[in-house]
A and B are shown apart, each in its own frame.
Chain A
């Protein structure tokens, strides 16, 4: 009897081993090295941005200019429920599974071969969350055996990637004070690095680094001068000095939200984050540069100290957040290779900086008819045009409203959250820009916890008969090689591949493939709702796949003024689409 039992046990173990081998149960999770190699390895997409440098570049060329016209859907997955709204998430892929987040802080794991759901996670959100610009989420990150994302009530959640069960949950800020979280977290070494959202409510921006395994806070760095950071549970250093570039106690609710996540460059071992506008919008209440709002900052991953900062809009008065992604890339300056980084700011200027020290290399406008600044000086500081700063309400005949100006670009920016891509093939940046302006005026305001802290009124207006302009920009000259226009604003981000293609979605619902050298449209597909998310691509079973989230929403329909009228007929949705080439085209 005993021998029989032993045999059964052995057989049982053998059966389990065979099952494990055939279903490819992973031996180990995502490693640090896997994260650093994310761009090179086409068989996984572990990070938002497709690599820590977030270049949104894939070396895959199986889908290319010659065959992209044959691209067809493989499957589509509905997010279901009544919770639609904006879907701004870039999906991840690993070991046959797609991980995609959605509106209202939801996440799905989907079988990448069949489109069948593996698990769904729904955050139970409290009443009274305060997202400024729709209930979006921009993606997750895979590391170890977990998948991480943040929620609208400012919580960071670690889920078991296999089961979708919560491993831990940490608070990033008090949602009642206006904190929320929508970006995709960043993995740096063994740390999970995040920012915060909520700049319109007078919160203070921060970059936090946590132990990715336990969620324990390692360091925290406030972006606004006067606030003190932490390191290993103890107060560390102050950001800047109190009142260096802020008057009175305005820095206490100074904004500078780090709401769009960051990038990391392993060559120079620096973390890059952009910071949002200073609060409130009314700049007469806070004369000065208001550091480090509307800036790019570089942080030392070991202690969270700011290594350098570069303000794109010092003393901002137009809601020109400086959050837009900073993409490390190498470029030639006077015949020498320079470790540079590029960013296309909300304020309409494109900047190339030395990523080791933040020194300005060059800058140029990437949208038309900029009014608020006449240009950039030799240090990259804007040459303000005082005629286009909205007036001081205290100097106005009507103390409740300062004089109004028409500023270009609008506060939704020459480029907003929708990420650009850098091609290793063409050495061009593909920038999803928008041409629009705004009437803007200041009003008096006082800070109140959890209330909007703007001190401004505004209306957006289009400038031409189109708003969206996808531009191929040469970072060495500032030249726009080509432009691909779209009636509605581009809000979805770009992917570029070694196949010579640029992929972008439109609010009208099309996913498009565009020739990276000419700007010619080579393929498009109607996904049924507006695309406001960046596409991604991966290789599986020897074939190249392209995936994109579809679901109209985001800030434009909420804040777009006259532009919102252009897009108000667009319907909401919530789905993930996957495309591939047919294995064999059907014979005639």
Chain B
């Protein structure tokens, strides 16, 4: 009985492997592209696509906080955006499902060395559209301890959310900026275990999901994100929920303001 099952299993495996095509040539010529393709994208067709715009500095000023904007709104039907930094010890930075939101996200991440930063947008026809740039950086962004480490009071503000959401008059897309107080330890700094926000969910008034995020260790300390959720006329607040890998919960309610510029008001602290 065992032999035929094993043989069938081998056949099944060999056939599924045979489906996987060779990866398309990488415009950034990364030595890790082959592995990145195998690990994250080989289950579906892949195209390199300028419609996925990745904006990041050519040379990072601070390797522990490199600002990146991903905008895939030139595509229609984006289900998920996955961000990868090929040459990081932990490559996956985040994944984002813009359920009721523009396929757009801004964040900061840590680089261990100069690395390609790629955003892959999965469209509803089951194709990965990949855009990316190369960011040069000084070394050590992932292996140096968070600034919170050694500050005895970091824990008293842990998981606190500061956020602001505002509509642009005449548009359904609002702009949400949020910051979660968290050390985001990668586990690679000596003697400090991995400790990072792993899930965030953005909800509207009635709890309907606007966007869903999986966050990984390379996202910078105190994750600072910009998202563009679609708000209905009745949505007067946005709910932020999440947790870290230690089970600490993140819970905030952000009132929606109508402003043309964030500069017109002072910082708006979300209520927990």
Bitwise interface map of B from 185 to 201 toward A, beta carbon under 8 Å scored 1, else 0: 10000011111000000
Known: A123-B193, A127-B150. A169 touches B9 (CB 8 A): no
Known: A83-B191, A124-B246, A126-B155. A14 touches B5 (CB 8 A): yes
Contact yes or no, A169 B192, CB < 8 A: no
CB neighbours of A166 from chain B (8 A): 245-247
For chain B residues 115-170, which have a beta carbon within 8 Å of chain A?
A: 150-152, 154-155
Contact yes or no, B247 A15, CB < 8 A: no
How far is the CB of B115 from the nearest CB of chain A, in Å? 26
Contact yes or no, B5 A15, CB < 8 A: yes
How far is the CB of A216 from the nearest CB of chain B, in Å? 14
Contact yes or no, A169 B246, CB < 8 A: yes
Question: Does A168 lie at the interface of the complex (its beta carbon under 8 Å from any beta carbon of B)?
Answer: yes
Contact yes or no, A11 B12, CB < 8 A: yes
Contact yes or no, B9 A15, CB < 8 A: yes
CB neighbours of A82 from chain B (8 A): 191
CB neighbours of B155 from chain A (8 A): 126-127, 153
Bitwise interface map of B from 16 to 50 toward A, beta carbon under 8 Å scored 1, else 0: 10000000000000000000000000000000000
How far is the CB of A213 from the nearest CB of chain B, in Å? 14
Question: Does B8 lie at the interface of the complex (its beta carbon under 8 Å from any beta carbon of A)?
Answer: yes
Question: Does B15 lie at the interface of the complex (its beta carbon under 8 Å from any beta carbon of A)?
Answer: yes
Contact yes or no, A124 B12, CB < 8 A: no
Question: Does B248 lie at the interface of the complex (its beta carbon under 8 Å from any beta carbon of A)?
Answer: yes
Contact yes or no, B152 A128, CB < 8 A: yes
C-alpha gap A242/B192 in the complex (Å): 45
CB neighbours of A157 from chain B (8 A): 246-247
C-alpha gap A124/B248 in the complex (Å): 11
Contact yes or no, A165 B245, CB < 8 A: yes
C-alpha gap A85/B79 in the complex (Å): 49
How far is the CB of B221 from the nearest CB of chain A, in Å? 13
Contact yes or no, B8 A14, CB < 8 A: yes
Question: Does A525 lie at the interface of the complex (its beta carbon under 8 Å from any beta carbon of B)?
Answer: no
Contact yes or no, B246 A123, CB < 8 A: yes
Chain A interface extent, by class: 20 to 34
C-alpha gap A122/B191 in the complex (Å): 10
Contact yes or no, A126 B154, CB < 8 A: yes
Known: A14-B8, A15-B5, A169-B247. A8 touches B195 (CB 8 A): no
C-alpha gap A557/B136 in the complex (Å): 51
Question: Max chain A CB contacts within 10 Å: which of B11, B150, B152, B193?
Answer: B193
Known: A12-B12, A15-B12, A126-B154. A167 touches B247 (CB 8 A): yes
Contact yes or no, A8 B152, CB < 8 A: no
CB-nearest residue of chain B to A175: B155
Contact yes or no, B192 A8, CB < 8 A: no
How far is the CB of B229 from the nearest CB of chain A, in Å? 28
CB neighbours of B9 from chain A (8 A): 11, 15, 18
Question: Max chain A CB contacts within 10 Å: which of B5, B15, B155, B195?
Answer: B155
CB-nearest residue of chain B to A128: B152
C-alpha gap A82/B191 in the complex (Å): 7
Question: Max chain B CB contacts within 10 Å: which of A14, A83, A122?
Answer: A122
CB neighbours of B150 from chain A (8 A): 127
Bitwise interface map of A from 62 to 94 toward B, beta carbon under 8 Å scored 1, else 0: 000000000000000000011100000000000
Contact yes or no, A127 B12, CB < 8 A: no
How far is the CB of B263 from the nearest CB of chain A, in Å? 36
How far is the CB of A525 from the nearest CB of chain B, in Å? 31
C-alpha gap A253/B119 in the complex (Å): 56
How far is the CB of A572 from the nearest CB of chain B, in Å? 15
For chain A residues 149-176, which have a beta carbon within 8 Å of chain B?
A: 153, 157-158, 165-169
Contact yes or no, A122 B247, CB < 8 A: no
For chain A residues 1-37, which have a beta carbon within 8 Å of chain B?
A: 8, 11-12, 14-15, 18
28 residue pairs bridging A and B, Cβ less than 8 Å apart: A8-B12, A8-B16, A11-B9, A11-B11, A12-B12, A14-B5, A14-B8, A15-B8, A15-B9, A18-B9, A83-B191, A122-B193, A122-B194, A123-B246, A124-B185, A124-B192, A124-B193, A124-B195, A126-B152, A127-B152, A127-B155, A157-B247, A158-B247, A166-B245, A166-B247, A168-B247, A169-B247, A169-B248
7 more contacts with CB within 8 A, not counting A18-B5, A82-B191, A165-B245, are: A11-B9, A11-B12, A18-B9, A126-B154, A157-B247, A167-B247, A169-B248
